[in-house]
Structure 1
Amino acid sequence: MSADSHPTLPPVRLHSDAELARDALGAPLFARAVRLARWAGPDTRVGVGGELATDQLPEAAAVLGLDAADADSGGYASQAWRVAVDTGLVDVTEPEDDGGEGDEARFGTAAPGEDLALVTSGAPGDVLDLWLAALDTVLADAAVPDLDDLVDALDAGGEIDFDRLDWNPGREADFLDGVLANLYLLTVTEGGAADDPVPLPVLAASMVVPDGMGEPTDAVLEQVSDAMMRLDDQFRQLEPIGLVEFRPVDEELMAEAGTPPEPETASAADDEDVSRYGMVRLTPLGLYGIRARMLEAGVDAPAVGELAEKGADALLDAVSFYSENAAQAEIEQWLAGRELPAAAAELLAAARGDDEGGPLRRLRCQQALAPAGPEAEPAVRSVLDDPELGGLARVWLAERGVSDVPAPDPEMVFWLTVDTIAAQLAADGETEELPLLMGSLTAHHAGFFEEVWRVEHPATAYVLEAMGRLHPDKKAAKEARKAAFKARSRRSA
């Protein structure tokens, strides 16, 4: 998985390791691998690559409770055996000589592996490590073309002609990784898929349609259709390991329509019609698995709760880039393990700073302290005279009806206004609500723009320029632009 696919992702809410381990043990393919590992014994014979001997596949299928009349039962048993071997649930001893005569010369042996004991006696993390190894095997298999395509691509010497097959193993693996990364992003992004399944045409289009393309061309739509059918086959293989919940493409519909709905209309079309083109969502176990692969590749993929043991400085720096809901969830977990008076003091100390990230840290600090009760009051009162935190402290105390709060001087009012708007710009950009906030903050201060440009805040000019664009009052907007020019001139002098 490429480390630069999504360099920074929204935080994901993961289930507990115990819940995820139960899901892993319940995944059909992993459960089959465990059953075959327990079945392996002195009479089990394997080939050169550790694969189960062909004449033992019916017995293995029977152990798994598969219908012998099902032509695919042997394939299911073979896949489960491969997972068992690759994860260490089974130890194999390959044949020493595959050119001799007789069964003894041509087959190796197999036995339950040491790791099999972890399934019942290991910690949840041990089970999840085994499941991740199984996932690697399944993902590698899913990136391989259909058997029929491989047979068609064999040359005269029995070797695969990759040029004829038009299959590049690395490219296929990267494509599947990219699809899963996009599915992960759609799931964890605020307002994204969450628990809702994603239409397969949308996911295929995310990999094929160039950014900024308006109406897709026929050639691009054909590529989307090809990618969609490829994903249909791959997700069928990924569902048994517990990575996804998947509704396959309705083959009758594809025969009728020939092409998928256009990507931009797929979400707006009738739910039933879209679902017939395939729907997929990551399971909680799938979110865990894709995140683990991203972390291994060096991708910054945070999870809610991982900052609980870190200091307030690390907390505020991280949640500054989270959505408000995700930041709140992380803050709550951080506070849960601490005494509130000390935690409040630590948060306030971490909120200081005249660097670019300071305003947003203070906004998140204010968010963290919002639900705090009287226990936090001493820490808040201690910063009333602090030039950076005094305004925040007064707002917090006033919201709780404290009567003996000293009035702020004008300089502190102007500084807090700049800091507040800078934080909102950093958190959400130029939203529809921001002009209303600007109007509210300046309405009660006559001559606001004649004074604010002198404020010693690193974001003063930046904020005034934004107010010049967004302030709902045209006269105030003009005054903001003049004040911004003065602020820029003052800083460059």
Structure 2
Amino acid sequence: MSAERPTLPPVRLHSEAELARDALAAPLLARAARLARWAGPDTRVGAGGELVDAQLPAAAELLGLTPDEDGAAEASEAWRLAVDTGLVDIEDPADETGDPDGGFAGADGFDEDDEPGAGGGGEEPAGTVTPGENLALLTGGSPADVLAIWLDGLEAAYADATAPAFDDFADLIGEDGSVDFDALDWDPETETEFLDGVLGNLYLLTVGEGADGAPVPLPALAASMIVPDDMGEPTDDVLEQVSDAMMRLDDQFRVLEPIGIVEYQPVDEALLVEEGEDALSPGDEEDVTRYGMVRLTPLGLYGIRARMLDAGVDAPAIGDLADKGADALLGGVAHYPEAAARAEIQLWLTRRGPDGAAAELLDAARGTDELGPLRRLHCQQALALVGAEAEPAVRAVLDDPELGGLARVWLAERGAEGVPAPSEAMIFWLAIDTIAAQLEAAGDLEELQGLVEGLSGQHSGFFEEAWRVDHPATADVLEAMGRLHSDKKQAKDARKAAFKARSRGGSAD
């Protein structure tokens, strides 16, 4: 039994309206919007579209930032986001001068006449600033419009987070201001893959079954990317790599927090003084929070999932199946955790309405493929949510060889009258189908063992009859019962029965 499972558990996202409000409140986007409304034809920009140095004090003051280099840098960062997200447009002077490059930066983001990261080296204006069409969408557009703009901002912040620090290439700047990128030990693809991996692990820790969304210690997150799963005590070399990764992530999360995807408590800078960067690893009894804590925000879950979907990763969200048919619903929730499956089914029923839902669910539950038992298990759970309206459709399948047992169980649980007793063949078929569903779901081992022993104990000579059941999973189920049963004689009987079932050819391999 090896049906394909989703790569990640389903995430429960906030509504688009809530997410859009969070996006508008993200500090970096909020600052970018304020600067876009402040800017006009007299605003001067440099060769790369950045604000010239003379404009930065006024921009910082508008944003309530400190009147120093840090404030100017934050204002410059917000302006770059306004440009990157289309909140402002800059008319290319090439339209008037005929210069094919228009004096703007090349594909590497730097103009050959400017130092990287400078706030507009020359003071000559390089373009005319006008409001971008996206500016109006921030206040007058739909939540989807706002989120689309925010996603553009996330990509820009992501690029900044994976870019080399100025100190990394300060010595590589030539006298003419150009940068020798070939001599820079920086691979943008590797940097992006590393950050993608870290945020993917953080996403999984946030949406996994039993996850509570609590902040994750930075050392644990760094170790998840460095320390092999089968390694016992990490070597000194591995610990040094973890320390390096922590410092790398500390810088990156500081860049990403203002766009709103994470809440981040940075590494305590006193640790760097106490221990030095090469010794940045917590002791057994030390307060781990000093080494950095990070959690994805609801907006961060949305943003990282969007990036995963763009990369082709199967990252489901609760509600994805709400407008699909019952076959897509039961197949889609097959390997969802129980709570997530119930939430998805409830949304489907709310959208679908009770009329005809039970009959559609029962029809979709049929099938002898590997996922058939799980579809029937989730169908039974869905029928419980439908309520009394499902009874006519359930009674209509009492004689169905695949659904008759399920129907009797559902009716009996509701105390319905006039429920015919099941035949012995139906009882055994339902027992095999039930265990097959639990095996495919790969649930709690103790619960599965209890189910196996309970079902086999309800009928004397269970294994003498079970091997004859005409169910495609009969042999697989009996083999599993032989592994799981705590009674040695019963386990041996189950293995014998499995051999007989395979010899009879009554189970698909």
User: Against the structure 1 CA distance between its residues 105 and 167, is the aligned structure 2 distance closer, same or farther, given a 3 Å change threshold?
Assistant: closer
Comparing 42-51 with 232-241, which one deviates more in the overlay? 42-51
Name the amino acid aligned to 2:271: L
Find 2:307's aligned residue among 285, 288, 293: 293
Quote how far apart the aligned CAs of 1:257 are: 4.3
Deviations 1:377-424 (A, max 9, x none): 111111111111111111111111123211111111111111000100
Find 2:214's aligned residue among 192, 196, 200: 196
Name the amino acid aligned to 2:91: T
Residues 46 and 94, structure 1, Cα contact 8 Å, conserved in 2? no
CA distance in 2, matches of 1:203, 1:47: 39
Aligned residue number for residue 302 of structure 1 = 316
Aligned residue number for residue 442 of structure 1 = 456
Deviations 1:178-222 (A, max 9, x none): 111111111111123x42011111111111112322221111111
Residues 398 and 404, structure 2, Cα contact 8 Å, conserved in 1? yes
Residues 95 and 106, structure 1, Cα contact 8 Å, conserved in 2? no
User: Against the structure 1 CA distance between its residues 322 and 7, is the aligned structure 2 distance closer, same or farther, given a 3 Å change threshold?
Assistant: closer
- Say which SS state the counterpart of residue 148 (structure 2) adopts: helix
User: Against the structure 1 CA distance between its residues 261 and 413, is the aligned structure 2 distance closer, same or farther, given a 3 Å change threshold?
Assistant: farther
Aligned residue number for residue 119 of structure 2 = none
CA distance in 2, matches of 1:400, 1:8: 37
Comparing 469-478 with 133-142, which one deviates more in the overlay? 469-478
CA distance in 2, matches of 1:419, 1:61: 67
Residues 472 and 506, structure 2, Cα contact 8 Å, conserved in 1? no
Comparing 36-45 with 206-215, which one deviates more in the overlay? 206-215
Comparing 401-410 with 421-430, which one deviates more in the overlay? 421-430
2:496 aligned with 1:482, yes or no?
Answer: yes
- Say which SS state the counterpart of residue 374 (structure 1) adopts: helix
Aligned residue number for residue 142 of structure 2 = 123
Aligned residue number for residue 150 of structure 1 = 169
Residues 363 and 420, structure 1, Cα contact 8 Å, conserved in 2? yes
Name the amino acid aligned to 1:57: L
Find 2:225's aligned residue among 185, 195, 207: 207
Quote how far apart the aligned CAs of 1:302 are: 0.9
Residues 53 and 123, structure 2, Cα contact 8 Å, conserved in 1? no
Find 1:183's aligned residue among 177, 202, 214: 202
Name the amino acid aligned to 2:421: A
Find 1:111's aligned residue among 130, 139, 142: 130
Residues 208 and 223, structure 1, Cα contact 8 Å, conserved in 2? yes
Residues 466 and 497, structure 2, Cα contact 8 Å, conserved in 1? yes
CA distance in 2, matches of 1:470, 1:122: 58
Aligned residue number for residue 409 of structure 1 = 423
2:369 aligned with 1:371, yes or no?
Answer: no
User: Against the structure 1 CA distance between its residues 7 and 213, is the aligned structure 2 distance closer, same or farther, given a 3 Å change threshold?
Assistant: farther
Name the amino acid aligned to 1:219: D
Aligned residue number for residue 3 of structure 1 = none
> Which ranges of structure 2 fall in alignment gaps of 5 or more residues?
98-102, 104-112, 114-121
2:334 aligned with 1:334, yes or no?
Answer: no
Name the amino acid aligned to 2:169: L
Quote how far apart the aligned CAs of 1:372 are: 3.3
2:36 aligned with 1:37, yes or no?
Answer: yes
Aligned residue number for residue 91 of structure 1 = 89
User: Against the structure 1 CA distance between its residues 7 and 261, is the aligned structure 2 distance closer, same or farther, given a 3 Å change threshold?
Assistant: farther
Alignment of 1:68-79 (within 5 A): 68=67, 70-79=68-77
Aligned residue number for residue 473 of structure 1 = 487
Q: CA RMSD in A?
A: 2.0
Quote how far apart the aligned CAs of 1:163 are: 5.9
Name the amino acid aligned to 1:450: E
Percent identity over the alignment is 69
Residues 476 and 498, structure 2, Cα contact 8 Å, conserved in 1? yes
Query: TM-score, normalized by length of structure 1?
Result: 0.92
Q: How many residues matched?
A: 477
CA distance in 1, matches of 2:435, 2:65: 64
Quote how far apart the aligned CAs of 1:72 are: 0.5
Residues 215 and 293, structure 2, Cα contact 8 Å, conserved in 1? yes
Quote how far apart the aligned CAs of 1:492 are: 7.5
User: Against the structure 1 CA distance between its residues 463 and 257, is the aligned structure 2 distance closer, same or farther, given a 3 Å change threshold?
Assistant: farther
Quote how far apart the aligned CAs of 1:290 are: 0.6
- Say which SS state the counterpart of residue 13 (structure 1) adopts: coil
Aligned residue number for residue 80 of structure 1 = 78
CA distance in 2, matches of 1:213, 1:223: 14
Comparing 237-246 with 39-48, which one deviates more in the overlay? 39-48
Name the amino acid aligned to 2:238: V
CA distance in 2, matches of 1:156, 1:219: 38
User: Against the structure 1 CA distance between its residues 130 and 488, is the aligned structure 2 distance closer, same or farther, given a 3 Å change threshold?
Assistant: same
Residues 474 and 506, structure 2, Cα contact 8 Å, conserved in 1? no
> Which ranges of structure 1 fall in alignment gaps of 5 or more residues?
1-5
Quote how far apart the aligned CAs of 1:373 are: 2.2
CA distance in 1, matches of 2:488, 2:238: 46
Quote how far apart the aligned CAs of 1:261 are: 4.2
- Say which SS state the counterpart of residue 174 (structure 1) adopts: helix
CA distance in 2, matches of 1:155, 1:463: 71
- Say which SS state the counterpart of residue 355 (structure 1) adopts: coil
CA distance in 1, matches of 2:129, 2:15: 34
Aligned residue number for residue 218 of structure 1 = 236
CA distance in 2, matches of 1:40, 1:9: 43
Residues 271 and 280, structure 2, Cα contact 8 Å, conserved in 1? no
Aligned residue number for residue 243 of structure 1 = 261
Residues 44 and 125, structure 2, Cα contact 8 Å, conserved in 1? no
Name the amino acid aligned to 1:205: A
CA distance in 2, matches of 1:185, 1:105: 49
Quote how far apart the aligned CAs of 1:164 are: 4.8
- Say which SS state the counterpart of residue 472 (structure 2) adopts: coil
CA distance in 1, matches of 2:433, 2:60: 67
Deviations 1:68-111 (A, max 9, x none): 1x321111111111100011000002334659xxx996531111
CA distance in 2, matches of 1:397, 1:373: 11
CA distance in 1, matches of 2:124, 2:236: 57
Residues 254 and 266, structure 2, Cα contact 8 Å, conserved in 1? yes
Aligned residue number for residue 234 of structure 1 = 252
User: Against the structure 1 CA distance between its residues 71 and 84, is the aligned structure 2 distance closer, same or farther, given a 3 Å change threshold?
Assistant: same
CA distance in 2, matches of 1:133, 1:409: 62
User: Against the structure 1 CA distance between its residues 158 and 107, is the aligned structure 2 distance closer, same or farther, given a 3 Å change threshold?
Assistant: closer
